[in-house]
Amino acid sequence: MSTTATKQQPEITKWASKDGEFRRQVSSFRDFVSRDKNARFAAEPDRYHLYISWACPWAHRTAIVRQLKGLDKIIGLSVVDFLLLDKGWKFSSSEETPGAIPDNVNNANYIREIYFKANPDYEGRFTVPVLWDKKNATIVSNESSEIIRMFNEEFNDYIDEDKKSLNYYPENLRKDIDELNEWVYDTVNNGVYKSGFATKQTAYENHVYPLFKSLDRIEKILAENEYLVANTFTEADIRLWTTIVRFDPVYVGHFKCNLKTIEKDYPNILRWARQIYQKAGVADTVNMHHIKHHYYESHSQINPTGVVPVSNGPDLSKPIIKS
- Say if residue 183 carries a ligand binding annotation: no
Of 30-38, 99-107, 140-148, 217-225, the window that binds ligand GSH (rule: CB under 6 A) is 140-148
Residue with smaller CB distance to ligand GSH, 58 or 266: 58
Distance CA 109, CA 218 (A): 40
Active site residue 115: no
Handedness of CA 145, 147, 151, 157 (dihedral sign): positive
Angle between helices 144-153 and 235-246 (to 10 degrees): 130
Q: Is 126 annotated as a binding residue?
A: yes
User: Does the protein bind ligand GSH through residue 218 (CB under 6 A)?
Assistant: no
Told to judge if 193 belongs to the known catalytic residues of this protein, a careful annotator would answer yes
Classify residue 197 by its DSSP letter. Answer: T
CA 32/CA 43 separation, integer angstroms = 10
In the complex, the smallest distance separating the C-beta of residue 265 from ligand GSH, rounded to whole angstroms, is: 25
Set 110, 115, 122, 193: catalytic member: 193
Catalytic residue among 48, 56, 257, 296: 56
Contacting ligand GSH within 98-137 (CB under 6 A): 125-129
Residues 79-98 that bind ligand GSH (CB under 6 A): 88
Question: Alpha-carbon distance 67 to 69, whole Å?
Answer: 6
Q: Which of 244, 241, 249 is nearest to 313 (CA)?
A: 249
> Which of the stretches 96-104, 138-146, 155-163, 277-285 binds ligand GSH when contact is defined by CB under 6 A?
138-146
CA–CA dist 94, 65 (Å, integer): 23
DSSP string, 268-311: HHHHHHHHHHTSTTTGGG--HHHHHHHHHHH-TTT-TT----S-
Among 9, 22, 27, 255, binds ligand GSH (CB under 6 A): 27
144 is known to lie in a ligand binding site:
yes
Q: Point out the residues that are catalytic.
A: 56, 193
Instruction: Give the annotated binding-site residues for glutathione.
Output: 89, 125-128, 143-144
Residues that bind ligand GSH (CB under 6 A): 12, 24, 27, 56, 58, 88, 125-129, 142-145
